[in-house]
């Protein structure tokens, strides 16, 4: 079953036109973006829990869920929805919760289906438990079993792991992928966690400012954003805007403020054009020692402006123009990385992704 999901949404906070292939072999589409980007709204509009606005359209294959004139009621759409906080019915047992969506099935068949769904969600042992006694992870497993029991055509997952502790989250993530592959259920997974998208998604849709920025493979969307907005949507820390000053062979030189960065040029950009160089903070390496050859490309020294502790990683802002953000391991770099210290910076050429931009004052101010 390789149907397309067609979505046109004209919601107050979301303006979207997209077609997603729903493939049973590559079932998971990640919906990624910062909070407030409209991720949950997108899911709710597809489910029919929110009205997608006048002139909107939602269709799965040939089945039109939301058309010009009429809309298929939520209960007839045959979708599964996993909420952030499981939303199990507290007054019903685990078994009754899972059976809730299949009341018309003959009893023996229903019991069998409940057992299978729970086993698929690795929650077979919870069958006789009271719903209120479940832990967060267990509850989310039961909620997944409940969603899968009615064999949905499409599963919508709204940050299903965000309320769980890290070990449980990692375990459930791995299992979710197996379960969806095994049952062949296509799914839309809303997340703002990059590692979750990497671990689960077959393709990613990046959302920001109420619009789709990019759709592609995980690698493409995260490492090769197509526009600066797409880069911001996936949280690229360094988006350095400048002008191309030189072209030498395969590479180009981008000058931005006092920085000169050498990058590859797959798009064939020309001297004089505006460009933005996107570099993830984790790809910039900082060392305390002075560089051996200061003249090597993309190597320079800079002063540490600010350090923000983030667990084992420290986020370090350098006093360059424009400001560069990098990460350093907290334990090893404690002595060397102090505000005011001079460090040697290397921006590896293979991690620089260059985007052509239209350079105007207005855009610049808007994006700041």
CA distance 188 to 16: 15
Task: Return the residue matching tokens 């009893």.
Answer: 107
Q: Is 79 in the site for another protein (CB under 8 A)?
A: yes
> Which of 27, 32, 42, 83: binder of another protein (CB under 8 A)?
83
Q: Is 136 in the site for another protein (CB under 8 A)?
A: no
Q: In the complex with another protein, which residue's Cβ is closer, 77 or 280? A: 77
Tell me the closest approach of the beta carbon of residue 201 to another protein, in angstroms.
22
Question: In b/e form, how buried is each residue of 105-126, taking b as 16+ CB within 10 angstroms?
Answer: beeeebeebbbebbebbbbeeb
CA distance 132 to 128: 12
Find out whether the peptide bond into 353 is cis, omega within 30 degrees of 0.
no
Q: Is 190 in the site for another protein (CB under 8 A)?
A: no
Question: In b/e form, how buried is each residue of 4-39, taking b as 16+ CB within 10 angstroms?
Answer: ebbbbbbbeebbbeeebebbeeebbbbbbbeeebbb
> Which of 150, 213, 298, 354: binder of another protein (CB under 8 A)?
150
> Which of 2, 13, 74, 290: binder of another protein (CB under 8 A)?
74
Q: Is 100 in the site for another protein (CB under 8 A)?
A: yes
Stretch that binds another protein, among 86-94, 134-142, 238-246, 310-318 (CB under 8 A): 86-94
Q: Is 49 in the site for another protein (CB under 8 A)?
A: yes
* Ranges assigned E (strand) in the chain: 2-11, 14-23, 28-32, 57-60, 63-66, 79-82, 154-158, 187-191, 203-208, 211-216, 238-248, 251-256, 259-264, 274-279, 285-287, 299-310, 313-318, 324-329, 342-346, 353-356
> Which of 12, 76, 329, 334: binder of another protein (CB under 8 A)?
76
Is 75 exposed, middle or buried (CB count within 10 Å of its CB: 0-12, 13-18, 19+)?
exposed
# of chain residues touching another protein (CB under 8 A): 22
Q: Is 81 in the site for another protein (CB under 8 A)?
A: yes
Q: Is 349 in the site for another protein (CB under 8 A)?
A: no
> Which of 55, 69, 70, 90: binder of another protein (CB under 8 A)?
90
Tell me the closest approach of the beta carbon of residue 91 to another protein, in angstroms.
4
End-to-end CA, the chain: 44
Q: Is 198 in the site for another protein (CB under 8 A)?
A: no
Q: Is 186 in the site for another protein (CB under 8 A)?
A: no
CA distance 190 to 177: 14
Q: Is 291 in the site for another protein (CB under 8 A)?
A: no
Q: In the complex with another protein, which residue's Cβ is closer, 189 or 262? A: 189
CA distance 169 to 200: 12
Stretch that binds another protein, among 99-107, 120-128, 252-260, 319-327 (CB under 8 A): 99-107
> Which of 69, 70, 91, 368: binder of another protein (CB under 8 A)?
91
Tell me the closest approach of the beta carbon of residue 237 to another protein, in angstroms.
34
- Name the residues that contact another protein, by CB under 8 A: 47, 49, 74-81, 83, 85, 87, 89-91, 100-101, 103, 146-147, 150
């Amino acid at each position: 079953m390789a149907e397309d999901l067609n979505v046109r949404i004209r919601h107050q906070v979301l303006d979207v036109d997209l077609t997603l292939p729903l493939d049973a072999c590559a079932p998971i589409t990640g919906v990624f973006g910062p909070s407030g980007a409209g991720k949950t709204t997108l899911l709710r509009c597809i489910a029919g829990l929110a009205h997608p606005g006048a002139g909107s359209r939602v269709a799965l294959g040939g089945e039109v869920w939301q058309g010009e004139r009429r809309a298929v009621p939520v209960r007839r759409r045959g979708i599964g929805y996993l909420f952030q906080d499981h939303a199990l019915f507290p007054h019903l047992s685990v078994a009754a919760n899972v059976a809730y969506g299949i009341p018309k099935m003959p009893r023996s068949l229903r019991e069998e289906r409940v057992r299978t769904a729970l086993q698929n969600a690795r929650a077979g042992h919870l069958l006789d438990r009271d719903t209120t006694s479940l832990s967060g992870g267990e509850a989310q497993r039961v909620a997944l079993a409940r969603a899968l029991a009615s064999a949905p055509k499409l599963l919508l997952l709204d940050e299903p792991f965000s309320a769980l502790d890290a070990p449980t989250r990692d375990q459930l993530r791995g299992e979710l992928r197996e379960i969806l592959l095994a049952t062949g259920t296509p799914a839309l997974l809303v997340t703002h966690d990059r590692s979750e998208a990497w671990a689960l998604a077959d393709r990613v849709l990046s959302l920001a400012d109420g619009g789709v920025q990019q759709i592609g493979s995980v690698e493409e969307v995260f490492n090769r954003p197509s526009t600066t907005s797409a880069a911001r949507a996936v949280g690229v820390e360094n988006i350095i805007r400048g002008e191309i000053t030189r072209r030498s062979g395969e590479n180009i030189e981008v000058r931005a403020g006092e920085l000169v960065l050498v990058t590859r040029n797959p798009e064939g950009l020309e001297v004089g054009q505006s460009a933005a160089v996107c570099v993830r903070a984790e790809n910039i390496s900082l060392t305390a020692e002075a560089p051996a050859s200061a003249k090597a490309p993309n190597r320079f020294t800079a002063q540490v402006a600010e350090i923000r502790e983030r667990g084992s990683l420290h986020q370090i802002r350098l006093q360059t123009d424009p400001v560069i953000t990098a990460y350093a391991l907290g334990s090893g770099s404690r002595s060397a990385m102090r505000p005011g210290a001079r460090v040697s910076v290397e921006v590896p050429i293979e991690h620089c992704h260059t985007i052509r931009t239209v350079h105007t004052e207005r855009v610049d101010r808007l994006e700041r």
